[in-house]
């Protein structure tokens, strides 16, 4: 998800040289192997500090150009929660969830967050010129599509011509591309969040079966905001997992080329 062009020519883009801790891979495998989409949750409460930690972990997910075009809505208001449950088709994973979240991708936030990056650089003395120029010039060229997408259409033509002769990034060339770009980042945050819940002994269920138009109205979201998914969380009931996990043969999906 990172854009390596920003670091090209820089010998050490991470001068911190942080010492990595030892990782227990077997414990991580337990998290992966026991994470299931749980449809029914018990009345067991999730401590608030764990909820907040899992949301923090979600926001540590990879994000393209570090523009962090995402939002997490923790639905705490009872009236609003009932509306969100209905928008999730009143499915048990929502109605029995002890805590309910809606992850929203915000491709429209790229410009605001790009400026936050530039503001951050102004507080630092050791920002490489290439990195500063990336956020001062290249991101505007890459992510700005102009009025009615006209600039993006022109860029797409130019990029396709240049692409005949050299390797060049092709997307995003429209707001539709930007939505895909932002949704990928937000989905990674969702996975971080769900794995964190499992690591702390709780469960989750991602829900894409929902009324996105109603959900946006409930959350008072603007037109360009995009619902990624809702996630119900809690302790699983015995009947909360509907069946054995089924995965098709690895050879259908893993290709060595």
Instruction: Walk along the chain (257 residues) and give the pLDDT tens digit of each residue.
Output: 444 445 444 455 555 677 889 999 999 999 999 999 999 999 999 999 999 999 999 999 999 999 999 999 999 999 999 999 999 999 999 999 999 999 999 999 999 999 999 999 999 988 999 999 999 999 988 898 888 888 888 888 888 899 999 998 888 889 899 999 999 999 999 999 999 999 999 999 999 999 999 999 999 999 999 999 999 999 999 899 998 999 999 999 999 99
Q: Alpha-carbon distance 113 to 148, whole Å?
A: 22
pLDDT score of 2:
47
Sorted by where each begins, the domain ranges of the chain are: 36-109+154-237, 111-153
pLDDT score of 150:
87
Q: Alpha-carbon distance 248 to 242, whole Å?
A: 18
pLDDT score of 5:
44
Return the number of other C-beta atoms located less than 10 Å from residue 61's C-beta.
Answer: 18
The dihedral sign for the CA sequence 73, 78, 82, 83: negative
pLDDT in tens, 67-112: 999 999 999 999 999 999 999 999 999 999 999 999 999 999 999 9
pLDDT score of 13:
53
Phi, psi for 33 (deg, rounded to 5) = -75, -25
DSSP string covering 26-85: HHHHHHHHH--B---B-SPPPPHHHHHHHHHHHTTS--GGG---EEEEEE--HHHHHHHH
Q: Which CATH class is domain 36-109+154-237?
A: alpha beta
pLDDT score of 10:
47
pLDDT score of 165:
93
Helix (H, G, I), strand (E, B) or coil at 256: coil
H helix or E strand, kind and range, residue 166: none
Q: E-strand spans in the chain?
A: 70-75, 99-105, 203-207, 226-234
- Contacts of 14-19 with C-beta under 8 Å, sequence gap 24+, read 15/126
pLDDT score of 217:
98
The dihedral sign for the CA sequence 9, 11, 17, 21: positive
Q: HSE-up of 85 (CA within 13 Å, CB side)?
A: 18
């Amino acid at each position: 998800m990172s854009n390596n062009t920003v670091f090209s020519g820089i010998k050490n883009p991470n001068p911190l040289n942080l010492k990595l801790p030892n990782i227990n891979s077997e414990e991580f495998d337990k998290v992966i192997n026991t994470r299931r989409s749980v449809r029914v949750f018990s009345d067991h409460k999730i401590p608030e500090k764990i909820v907040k930690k899992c949301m923090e972990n979600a926001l540590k997910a990879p994000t393209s150009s570090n523009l962090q075009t995402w939002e997490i809505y923790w639905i705490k208001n009872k009236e609003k929660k009932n509306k969100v449950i209905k928008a999730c088709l009143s499915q048990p994973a929502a109605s029995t969830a002890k805590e309910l979240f809606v992850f929203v991708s915000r491709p429209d936030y790229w410009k605001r967050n790009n400026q936050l990056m530039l503001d951050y650089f102004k507080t630092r003395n050791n920002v490489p010129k290439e990195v500063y120029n990336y956020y001062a010039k290249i991101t505007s060229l890459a992510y700005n599509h102009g009025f009615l997408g006209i600039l993006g259409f022109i860029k797409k033509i130019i990029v396709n011509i240049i692409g005949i002769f050299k390797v060049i990034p092709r997307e995003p060339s429209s707001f539709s591309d930007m939505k895909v770009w932002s949704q990928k980042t937000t989905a990674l945050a969702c996975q971080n969040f769900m794995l964190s819940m499992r690591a702390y002994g709780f469960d989750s269920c991602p829900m894409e079966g929902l009324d996105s138009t109603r959900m946006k109205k409930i959350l008072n979201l603007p037109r360009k905001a995009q619902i990624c998914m809702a996630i119900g969380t809690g302790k699983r009931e015995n009947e909360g997992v509907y069946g054995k996990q089924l995965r098709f043969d690895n050879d259908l999906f893993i290709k060595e080329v």
